[in-house]
Structure 1
Amino acid sequence: MAPFTSLDIGNITLRNRIAISPMCEYSAIDGVPNDWHLVHLGSRAVGGAGLVFTEASAISPEGRISAADAGIWNEAQQAAWARIVQFIKTQGAAAGIQLAHAGRKASTDVPWHGGKPLVGVPGAWTPVAPSAIAFDVGYAVPTALDAAGLRKVVADFVAAAVRAREAGFDVIEIHAAHGYLLHEFLSPLSNRRTDAYGGSLENRARLLREVVAAVRGVWPQPRPLFVRVSATDWIEGGWDIAECVELARWLKADGVDLIDTSSGGNVAHAKIPVGPGYQVPFAARIRREAGIATGAVGMITTAPQAQQIVERGDADLVLIARESLRDPYFPRRAAAELGVKIPIPEQYQRAW
């Protein structure tokens, strides 16, 4: 059945079209992933997914959402990821890493301590952003990036991509969604610059495209390169699907293989019509109008949903997030529901 057909993308073949979406675990120490991450991500590989993504992995200390975020800005982090990557791949899944910079949404507490912004307290740091506009009441006013700061962001993405390559990852995804740094540049609500990085769509997309080009320099085709976007800010005057389609056309020309299509995150109180598959139409439109492969994500919780998305041609890849937290073996359950036989680890075969 459709979700369990293979997918050729770049120089790899995914065993099926179900991917585990990047999900922050807020459990790293000094950015170093640990046994929690090994078990968490390894379980999803054993669970049958075709592609398993790490959480958003910071390219620099200041690019973390919280101090408990995983990162890939030093050798200790690279070595820890290499161990996890090796296990994921031994289970037949591809290993992907999402490279991220939190921008103005950095310096927050972990969710189970309230997730509030840390401002003027021990352990806090000053975020950076396209413009000196706080995300919301209570958040720090970020420092607007100057020319040197912009160069550092690009260089940090490149260094992270090199480490990802050395750690053995199969796929890199650049995080340009959810109100984090690269999305902040895209949206006119958070980007009020008057230089070459603000104003027109071409200018607002400049930093993301520079990052993509620079990463491609060390992660050359045909290695798969994804970009996660928010298709809309869900508010009048913000980033929208029409601009996102145009961006996707440019990114395709820049060497991006797939657009992982989410939404929102840049406006604190946007009214988002959340419901099953509510973001799928955005993935479908980008796929249709930009002529690039897409991934669909967002409240996809059942096998029939996944099947319909692929069969209708709305997306090439189905990304499962919270449903995989509830059930690490969602792909195996979906395969059983759809009457598809997929390989079972030798250790588990007596249960089938």
Structure 2
Amino acid sequence: MILTVASRVGRSVLVILLVTIAVVALLSLAPGSVAQVILGENATPEAVAALNAELGLDAPFWSQYTAWLGNAVQGDLGTSPLTGQSVSEAIGERLPVTLQLAVMGLVIALVVAILMGIASASRPGSGLDRSTNAVSAVFLSVPAFIAGPILIYFLAIQLQIFPVMGWSRISEGLGENLRSAFLPAIAIALTEIAAFHRLLRTDLIGTLREDFVAAARAKGLSSRYVMFRHALRPSSFSLITLAGINLGRLIGGTVIVETLFGLPGLGQLVASSITSRDVIMVQGIVVFIAVVYVCINTLVDLSYQVIDPRVRKVAAA
């Protein structure tokens, strides 16, 4: 057990290191530097070189990276040379927005997908099953950058139910906060609904054909009881795995949605930092997201023993 945990931690650390190296290497290929952004387009090459030297950006790539890594291990993700704000402080300010969007989108996707999956698996091949599959296909084919403007046009501009852009914090009122977060969360959830529905439908259909389900039906139990008590839990094994993985991905993948709706989250911060060549900010955010992703995957693995008793038996053996 200890060796397994140590191996997983070692792989996770290696993944985080490779991710940060890849980010810095890719940004180094782009023309310009943060010094040019600070000084403006009319800055002389001498002034840019002097500011690069002052910021330590003229050092070799590996020298800059190892210095940053040494500070990051101690909890210091650096300070943005562009804004003067520490990366940790910037993450703390913007994380609640991104986290709320990701969690809301995931919860909406799970609720809708479970209802659609149960409806489809109850009568596979029926008209209801074909209808839900068609809806799922539509959701799957509409990416967030298409769904966002459509939702804005119909629900915000035409019906004026939700605000077009902007963000209301919870301190300003829970109702206003949910109104500002609902459309972005729906835009995030559509693709997830399709993926979750297809996975759960397949697993449920397979589970409903198992002998223990037939035995439960032979006892005279109602179809609803059999579905929710005997079939849904073992069929949700893959769904929980995918949901956990997708939560980590959604936290780092809200760039498009946050930009479309003008939301002050991590995604928008990453996009603006890449444009301004703020490598320190991008590096810190990427490391944070990678750590969150790894931790979520570990929790998902541990949740298997709660969801499926068969895993507990294997672990105990």
What is the TM-score with the length of structure 1 in the denominator?
A: 0.21
Larger RCO: 1 or 2 (CA < 8 Å, sep 6+)? 2
Structure of greater Rg: 2
What is the TM-score with the length of structure 2 in the denominator?
A: 0.23
